[in-house]
């Protein structure tokens, strides 16, 4: 029988224990946000569900775990870290189920794989910081958009290395995640300035590079990230400013290999105008897409935990890493 590994308690410190339903609502409402965090949050919820789920047979147990995974996967359509994280966790349980494991075997395999995912996700953020910071020069003026722990890892590491950087944070309407980034970087000691999104082009003229996070990477090397990212990239391109993306490899969107497109999440209109304003302006229509696509030709390189990857090499990387994701497209074997 497989046994639980020791010393894999990282997720308990990061997120409290919640039911799958609560986790789904938390993800949907973005009370937990950020591509990496939502993946770890879902992996944690699935792990905790797998720990407690009761069933008489392996098939019944595995069916319950799969259903929980499907529910979590459906919370946010664009950030591929969520299905990839959940699929990774299910891969462990599935392997055990298909090799005839008992309920306890499948449970332990699922829990161990979840802990592996959570630990390696956290490690990846650190590794991205180490690798990316080497490409930051002393005195760089850097623009960032939204709130990315991978991008911030680079900025913090560069600061730790004594590179006197100055960072401009876009506010990132409609949910103003740039405020969080600015607060965190300033608290860390970094020279930080908050600007509204429309000040980005003016600021770009004095910038040396832009560093942003990533929600999904398409097979052609295009980046899907928070709405407004492609505008920042266009401005960087125009001003010949380096455009760098910090991305863990579990943000590769494997379904784009087979021709599928990335769904762009459309969120509630009340994120961009108050209900009162809407009532007073009944003829105004609203649109609130929350991600956009930056073409590969505007991206200098991705910083991943595996190293620097130019957009043109994403296809090769995807092919190399495809296997686990394909294996994890788990459905119950009836
Ligand atoms: P890390 C966020 O999405 C932002 O778009 C950010 O750039 C991206 O996730 C990556 O974040 P949202 O969940 O994984 O706020 O680097 O919609 O933290």
pLDDT, one tens digit per residue, over 248-276 is 999 999 999 888 888 898 999 999 999 99
- Predicted pLDDT at 102: 97
- Predicted pLDDT at 323: 62
Phi-psi label, residue 189: left if phi above 0, alpha if psi -120 to 50, beta otherwise: left
Residue keyed to tokens 């298909």: 98
Per-residue pLDDT of 50-102, as tens digits, reads 999 999 999 999 999 999 999 999 998 787 999 999 999 999 999 999 999 99
146 part of the active site: yes
Active-site residue, selected from the candidate residues 48, 215, 253, 300 = 215
- Predicted pLDDT at 9: 44
- Apex 244 CA angle, 241 and 247, nearest 5: 170
Active-site residue, selected from the candidate residues 48, 146, 253, 300 = 146
- Predicted pLDDT at 329: 45
- Under the banding of pLDDT at 50, 70 and 90, the label for residue 4 is very low
Res 283 pLDDT > 70: yes
Per-residue pLDDT of 109-132, as tens digits, reads 999 999 999 999 999 999 999 999
- Predicted pLDDT at 322: 76
- Under the banding of pLDDT at 50, 70 and 90, the label for residue 135 is very high
The residue contributing the CA closest to ligand 1 atom 16 is 148
- Predicted pLDDT at 79: 79
- Predicted pLDDT at 6: 38
Cβ burial of 263 (10 Å; 0-12, 13-18, 19+) is middle
Exposure string over 100-139, b if 16+ CB within 10 A, otherwise e: ebebebbbbbbbbbbbbbbbebbebbebbbebbbebbeee
- Asked if residue 314 has its Cβ within 6 Å of ligand 1, the reply is no
Res 27 pLDDT > 50: yes
The answer to whether 222 touches 261, Cβ cutoff 8 Å, is no
Q: How far is the CA of 141 from the centre of ligand 1 (A)?
A: 22
Res 21 pLDDT > 60: yes
Tell me the C-alpha distance between 220 and 137, whole Å: 29
What's the whole-number mean pLDDT along residues 312-316? 97
292 part of the active site: no
Q: Which one of 77, 82, 148, 149 would you pick to mutate in the ligand 1 pocket, going by the greatest count of ligand atoms within 8 A of its CB?
A: 148
Cβ burial of 228 (10 Å; 0-12, 13-18, 19+) is buried
Whole-model pTM: value is 0.91
Q: Which one of 28, 35, 38, 214 would you pick to mutate in the ligand 1 pocket, going by the greatest count of ligand atoms within 8 A of its CB?
A: 35
Q: Which one of 84, 145, 147 would you pick to mutate in the ligand 1 pocket, going by the greatest count of ligand atoms within 8 A of its CB?
A: 147
Helical H segments across the chain, by residue range = 10-14, 20-28, 35-52, 58-73, 81-98, 103-133, 149-160, 177-188, 200-204, 229-239, 275-280, 314-327
- Asked if residue 226 has its Cβ within 6 Å of ligand 1, the reply is yes
- Apex 124 CA angle, 73 and 155, nearest 5: 110
Res 1 pLDDT > 60: no
Per-residue pLDDT of 173-200, as tens digits, reads 999 999 999 999 999 999 999 999 999 9
Tell me the C-alpha distance between 178 and 198, whole Å: 13
- Under the banding of pLDDT at 50, 70 and 90, the label for residue 3 is very low
């Amino acid at each position: 029988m497989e046994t639980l590994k020791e010393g894999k308690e990282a997720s308990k410190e990061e997120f409290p224990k919640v039911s799958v339903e609560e986790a789904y609502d938390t993800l949907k409402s973005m009370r937990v946000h950020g591509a990496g965090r939502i993946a770890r949050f879902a992996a944690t919820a699935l792990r905790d569900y797998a720990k407690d789920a009761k069933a008489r047979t392996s098939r019944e147990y595995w069916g319950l775990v799969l259903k929980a995974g499907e529910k979590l996967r459906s919370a946010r359509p664009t950030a591929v870290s969520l299905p990839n994280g959940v699929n990774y966790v299910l891969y462990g349980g599935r392997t055990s189920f298909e090799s005839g494991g008992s309920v306890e075997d499948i449970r332990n395999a699922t829990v161990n794989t979840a802990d592996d995912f959570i630990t390696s996700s956290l490690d990846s953020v650190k590794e991205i910081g180490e690798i990316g910071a080497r490409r930051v020069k002393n005195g760089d003026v850097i623009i960032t958009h939204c709130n990315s722990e991978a991008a911030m890892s680079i900025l913090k590491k560069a600061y730790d290395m004594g590179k006197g950087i100055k960072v401009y944070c876009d506010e990132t309407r409609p949910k103003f995640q740039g405020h969080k980034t600015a607060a965190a970087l300033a608290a860390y000691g970094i020279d930080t300035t908050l600007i509204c999104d429309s000040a980005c082009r003016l600021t770009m003229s004095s910038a040396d590079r832009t560093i942003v996070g990533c929600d999904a990477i398409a097979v052609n090397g295009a980046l899907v990230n928070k709405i407004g990212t492609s505008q920042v990239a266009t401005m960087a391109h125009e001003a010949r400013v380096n455009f760098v993306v910090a991305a863990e490899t579990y943000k590769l969107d494997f379904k784009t290999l087979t021709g599928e497109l990335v769904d762009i999440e459309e969120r509630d209109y009340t994120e961009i105008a108050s209900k009162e304003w809407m009532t007073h302006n009944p003829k105004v229509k609203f649109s609130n897409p929350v991600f956009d696509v930056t073409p590969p030709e505007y991206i200098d390189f991705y910083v991943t935990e595996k190293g620097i990857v130019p957009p043109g090499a994403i296809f090769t990387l995807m092919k190399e890493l495809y296997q686990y994701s394909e294996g994890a497209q788990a459905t119950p074997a009836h």
